[in-house]
Amino acid sequence: MPDPRLTGLGTGVFCLAVMVALGCLDRMLFGSSLTVYGVLFLPVCVLTGLWVRPGDVLTAPIAVPIAFALGLVAVAESGEGAGGRLAGLVTALAMGAGWLYGGTLLTGLLVVVRRARLIRRRAARSRPPT
């Protein structure tokens, strides 16, 4: 398993590119299934939480919901015109809210644990020897 370290911007680009690609893949293979899209979103959340650099861990929970919403454009059912497309996107966001919240929570938990470990290590290094 590779161990890349993404910057805050790299995290956003990674999430966005993967979720748009998965949204298009879901549309082609599964006929725009929100369940499949949501299930595919969870591993992206885990990878994002694990691959972000230690100094940028707080950006990961911000990037994943944005990527979810932008990737959802390919999956959302759309009517005619801009209003129909917007209505389809809002409906898809409402129907996929559980996946969105779950993935964001998963990423948030991972980065909080990583951040706590980083703080604990720094504190242990700065303590004078006894």
Is residue 1 situated within a structural domain? no
Residue 36, pLDDT score: 95
pLDDT average, residue stretch 6-34: 94
Range(s) of the domain holding residue 20: 8-124
Mean pLDDT for the chain? 91
Is residue 129 situated within a structural domain? no
Contacts by 20-25, CB closer than 8 A, 24 or more apart: 20/67, 20/70, 20/71, 20/73, 20/74, 21/71, 22/71, 23/71, 23/72, 23/73, 23/74, 23/75, 24/74
Give tens-digit pLDDT for 34-59: 999 999 999 999 999 999 998 898 89
Confidence of residue 130 (pLDDT cuts 50, 70, 90): low
Q: How much is the pTM?
A: 0.87
- Identity at 97, one-letter amino acid code: A
Give the total number of structural domains in the chain. 1
Residue 2, pLDDT score: 61
| pLDDT of 16 higher than 80 | yes
Is residue 3 situated within a structural domain? no
Is residue 105 situated within a structural domain? yes
Is residue 38 situated within a structural domain? yes
| pLDDT of 1 higher than 70 | no
Confidence of residue 99 (pLDDT cuts 50, 70, 90): very high
